[in-house]
Amino acid sequence: MSVSLHRLSGKREMENVHLALEEDDLYSGYNDYNPTFDSEELENDVGFQQAVRTSHGRRPPMTAKFPGTAIGARPLVSSFGSRIPMTSSVGRPMTGAVQDGATRPMTAVRAAGYTSSLTRGSTFDPLGQSKGPAPPLEAKNEDTPEEKIKILEKKVNDLIEESCMAHSMGSLQLALEKAKEAGRKERALVRQREQSGNADHINLDLTYSVLLNLANQYENNEMYPEALNSYQVIVKNKMFSNAGRLKVNMANIYFKQKNYPKAIKFYRMALDQISNAHKEMRIKIMQNIGVVFVRMGQYSDAITSFEHIMSESPNIKTGFNLILCYYAIGDRERMKKAFQKLISVPLGIDDEDKYIPSNDDTSSNMVTEAIKNDKLHQMERDLKILAEKYIMTAAKLIAPAVETSFATGFDWCVDMVKSSQYVELANDLEINKAITYLRQKDFNQAVETLKTFEKKDSRVKSAAATNLSFLYFLEKDYDQADRYADLAMTADRYNPAALINKGNTVFIKQDYEKAAEFYKEALRNDSSCTEALYNLGLTYKKLNRLEEALDCFLKLHAILRNSAQVMYQLAHLYELLEDPQQAIEWLMQVISVTPTDPQALAKLGELHDGEGDKSQAFQYYYESFRYFPSNIDVIEWLGAYYIETQFCEKAIQYFERATLIQPTQVKWQLMVASCYRRSGNYQKALETYKDIHHKFPENVECLRFLVRLCTDMGLKEVQEYATKLKKVEKMKEIREQRVKSGREGSGRGRREGREGSAGSAGISEDVKADSSHSSNSTKGERLSAKMRSLPASSEPYEASSPKELDASYMDPLGPQMERPKTGAKRRTEDDDFADEELGDDLLPE
Instruction: Please give the Cα distance from 505 to 523 (Å, whole number).
Output: 17
**What one-letter code names the amino acid at 524?**
R
pLDDT, residue 103, reads 52
Helix (H) or strand (E) holding 423: none
Round the average pLDDT of the chain to a whole number and report it.
76
pLDDT, residue 3, reads 37
- Reduced to 3 states (helix: H, G, I; strand: E, B; else coil), residue 88 is strand
Which is nearest to 547 in space by CA: 573, 566, 568?
573
- Reduced to 3 states (helix: H, G, I; strand: E, B; else coil), residue 779 is helix
Instruction: Please give the Cα distance from 703 to 726 (Å, whole number).
Output: 9
| Domains along the chain with CATH numbers | 145-284 (1.25.40.10), 328-345+372-440 (no CATH), 453-561 (1.25.40.10), 635-737 (1.25.40.10)
Which is nearest to 387 in space by CA: 314, 453, 300, 329?
314
Q: Are 185 and 157 in contact (CB under 8 A)?
A: no
Instruction: Please give the Cα distance from 728 to 720 (Å, whole number).
Output: 12
Which is nearest to 7 in space by CA: 66, 38, 48?
48
Q: Are 462 and 491 in contact (CB under 8 A)?
A: yes
Instruction: Please give the Cα distance from 410 to 138 (Å, whole number).
Output: 83
* Cα–Cα separations (whole angstroms), residue 157 to 162, 179, 207, 209: 9, 10, 10, 9
pLDDT, residue 72, reads 41
Which is nearest to 507 in space by CA: 497, 492, 498, 517?
517
pLDDT, residue 457, reads 66
Q: Phi/psi at 824 (nearest 5 deg)?
A: -95, 165
Residue ranges in 492-631 assigned as alpha helix (H): 496-508, 512-525, 530-542, 546-559, 564-576, 580-593, 598-610, 614-627
Nearest 5 degrees, angle CA 87-CA 93-CA 97?
60
Instruction: Please give the Cα distance from 212 to 248 (Å, whole number).
Output: 13
Bridge partner list, 71 = 88
Per-10-residue mean pLDDT of the chain, 845 residues long, equals: 37 41 54 62 74 60 46 42 43 47 54 54 64 66 76 91 93 92 90 77 86 93 92 87 86 93 93 87 93 93 93 91 92 91 83 68 76 81 89 88 83 86 81 80 79 71 84 88 88 89 93 94 91 94 94 93 93 93 94 92 93 92 92 92 88 90 90 89 88 87 87 84 87 84 64 40 32 36 41 34 29 37 38 33 32
User: In 40-171, where do the E strands start and end?
Assistant: none
Q: Are 485 and 501 in contact (CB under 8 A)?
A: yes
Q: Phi/psi at 665 (nearest 5 deg)?
A: -90, 115
535 burial via Cβ count (<10 Å: 0-12, 13-18, 19+) = buried
Q: Phi/psi at 71 (nearest 5 deg)?
A: -115, 135
CB atoms within 10 A of CB 571: 26
Q: Are 465 and 498 in contact (CB under 8 A)?
A: yes
pLDDT, residue 448, reads 80
> What DSSP string describes 164-208?
HHHHHTT-HHHHHHHHHHHHHHHHHHHHHHHHHT-GGG--HHHHH
Instruction: Please give the Cα distance from 589 to 149 (Å, whole number).
Output: 61
Which is nearest to 836 in space by CA: 624, 599, 602?
599
Q: Phi/psi at 594 (nearest 5 deg)?
A: -125, 80
CB atoms within 10 A of CB 318: 24
pLDDT, residue 367, reads 77
Instruction: Please give the Cα distance from 57 to 433 (Å, whole number).
Output: 115
User: In terms of pTM, does the model score above 0.75?
Assistant: no
Bridge partner list, 88 = 71
Whether the CA torsion 398, 399, 403, 405 is positive or negative: it is negative
Instruction: Please give the Cα distance from 285 to 308 (Å, whole number).
Output: 12
pLDDT, residue 84, reads 42
Which is nearest to 230 in space by CA: 248, 246, 241?
246
Instruction: Please give the Cα distance from 186 to 160 (Å, whole number).
Output: 11
Which is nearest to 431 in space by CA: 389, 461, 405?
461
Which is nearest to 350 in space by CA: 386, 376, 314?
376
